[in-house]
Structure 1
């Protein structure tokens, strides 16, 4: 009888200890889960207000751009990029292409029409934080500058989406785009001109005058979320 009571008491004691630790583990698990959910919500809130990072290469690339285009105005171009980035989202918002024929090449305007037709996302309150030069490249006579722009907009659910756009521009006159001119020669010595923006022949020193005023025209826009 005594052993039975001892076993019964020991069982009750063991069960109480196990219950105590089980309750403690459950409470601690709930606390960890609550902290985890809070951390996720905080991260999502921070992501809504923090602009996307940009890879600026202006300090390295601007001397090369100005070597080919001495009149290149970096500040003016950055403002142009910000306006074009805003125009991109307003085009999606209003479901019509708001870029004019003088702002982009024909293929770009075609792609914009397709993007407007494909877009199924509601866009409100588009805003552009900043734009930076991130690449300068060339192919034959053609020269391209690429900018990154940190943007935001609100979706249908009212959530603020932080996005990054890459906008690529090509330097050309209207005739260059329409005729797809890829080879230029010095009118004096016939030497090939290395860049459409060159003002002086590298071989004979002849001053070069472009057949048509040059401008930077939109060539491509890529959205990166």
Structure 2
């Protein structure tokens, strides 16, 4: 084969090879884009599967939005737990006050709490029948604060699930029994146009409240000189009875019949 023929053959093959190279270069960007899309799809699929797994473990459903909604509904319908120290505190109380009637005082505590919340809703202090002047002043201050802001606080469909003694303490001439209650209600605040500005009037709220029951053991030692809680006095000479559970006056020796319903009073209610 002559030199010219070899050159001609060479020139015939080279354009074909160059075409193959151009074809490959042309589709490389497309392949890269497809690989990126595939990688993104894999990541999305992995992320969705992880979210579903997390939602299933946490809420029992693959739909996390539905799971969150269900969790909120469960929280709205599940009563709060209370600090139940009755088994420990009650023997101490009965040791100091043998005539202490737990069931009666527990019922009175629930009545006081219910009346307090009703009074806040109606903005009417007169609804609160249980409680001393200190508690009524506390209620009046709470109502006045709402009125001054043009607001009304509402507690509707109030239900008390459980009440227990949470604490018993003695301080400065006073004995205090704290009852803690698990409370369910629709709790919300409205403005002057009766528009709900806080809380919800269609979603239940679960909360806890402490109600303090007070006995004045010694007024002279009480922290607050204006304390209006009720103490026991001797029916014969009028002297204050300072010994817990005393049956005889230490001044005149007269017998004392302690009526618990009059010896104790409620002086403080607050959310726990």
The counterpart of 2:107, out of the listed 71, 79, 85, is 79
Q: CA deviation at 1:68?
A: 1.3
Give the structure 2 partner of residue 130 of structure 1: 162
Give the structure 2 partner of residue 168 of structure 1: 212
Q: CA deviation at 1:210?
A: 6.3
* Aligned pairs (5 A) from 1:23-172: 23-26=41-44, 29=47, 32=51, 35-97=63-125, 98-100=127-129, 103-119=130-146, 120-154=152-186, 155=188, 156-172=200-216
Give the secondary-structure state (helix, strand or coil) at the position aligned to 1:56.
Answer: coil
Q: For 1:27 and 1:163, locate their aligned partners in 2 and report how far apart those are by CA, in whole Å.
A: 41
Q: CA deviation at 1:30?
A: 5.6
Q: For 1:142 and 1:66, locate their aligned partners in 2 and report how far apart those are by CA, in whole Å.
A: 16
CA shift in 2, pair 1:56/1:178, >3 Å: closer
CA contact (8 A) 2:83 2:164 kept: yes
Q: Which 4+ runs in 1 deviate beyond 6 A?
A: 175-182, 210-213
Give the secondary-structure state (helix, strand or coil) at the position aligned to 1:51.
Answer: coil
CA contact (8 A) 1:68 1:198 kept: no
Q: CA deviation at 1:64?
A: 0.9
Q: For 2:75 and 2:145, locate their aligned partners in 1 and report how far apart those are by CA, in whole Å.
A: 26
CA shift in 2, pair 1:19/1:84, >3 Å: same
Q: For 2:264 and 2:45, locate their aligned partners in 1 and report how far apart those are by CA, in whole Å.
A: 63
Q: For 1:41 and 1:95, locate their aligned partners in 2 and report how far apart those are by CA, in whole Å.
A: 34
Q: Radius of gyration: which is bigger?
A: 2
Give the secondary-structure state (helix, strand or coil) at the position aligned to 1:17.
Answer: helix
TM-score calculated relative to the size of structure 2: 0.66
Tell me, yes or no, if structure 1 residue 21 matches structure 2 residue 39: yes
Q: CA deviation at 1:220?
A: 0.4
CA contact (8 A) 2:99 2:258 kept: no
Q: CA deviation at 1:157?
A: 3.5
CA contact (8 A) 1:141 1:194 kept: no
CA contact (8 A) 1:172 1:217 kept: no
CA contact (8 A) 2:177 2:214 kept: yes
CA contact (8 A) 2:213 2:267 kept: yes
RCO higher in 1 or 2 (8 Å CA, sep ≥ 6)?
1
Q: For 2:178 and 2:201, locate their aligned partners in 1 and report how far apart those are by CA, in whole Å.
A: 32
CA shift in 2, pair 1:199/1:106, >3 Å: same
User: What runs of 5+ residues in structure 1 fail to find an aligned partner?
Assistant: none
CA shift in 2, pair 1:162/1:22, >3 Å: same
CA shift in 2, pair 1:212/1:164, >3 Å: closer
Q: CA deviation at 1:66?
A: 0.5
Give the secondary-structure state (helix, strand or coil) at the position aligned to 1:109.
Answer: helix
